[in-house]
Amino acid sequence: MSDFSVTLPSGEAWTPQFVQNINEAHCIGCGRCFKVCPRGVLELVGLNDEGERLAVSLDDDDDDEEYEKKVMTIAHGELCIGCTACSRICPKKCYTHAAAQV
């Protein structure tokens, strides 16, 4: 087993770091990561006080009484290309990434 990597046109080897987890306890639901992800991997959800997940949009008012807080989630991890744009822009260091094994 070794890390999956590709060879760029420059000849440089690049090892994609695929998204593994978002720390919901640290996430403030700011949506920065959602805006930079080029692959539609992420989805913002609302958590109510019973832990239920509700559909929300980035434009929803935080004062909405249906949920306690908004958090980012991984909705389509299979679409991730491992670019790490999400973690580089996250102000709360919520992301965990890892190389794929081949």
Positions that interact with ligand SF4 (CB under 6 A): 19, 22, 27-33, 36-39, 41-42, 72, 80-86, 89-92, 94
Asked if 55 and 46 count as a contact pair (C-beta separation under 8 A), the reply is yes
Min CB(62)–ligand SF4 separation in Å: 13
Min CB(11)–ligand SF4 separation in Å: 23
Query: 30 vs 100, which CB is nearer to ligand SF4?
Result: 30
Helices in 14-101 by DSSP H: which ranges?
Answer: 32-36, 85-89
Task: Give the C-alpha separation, 14 to 8, whole Å.
Answer: 7
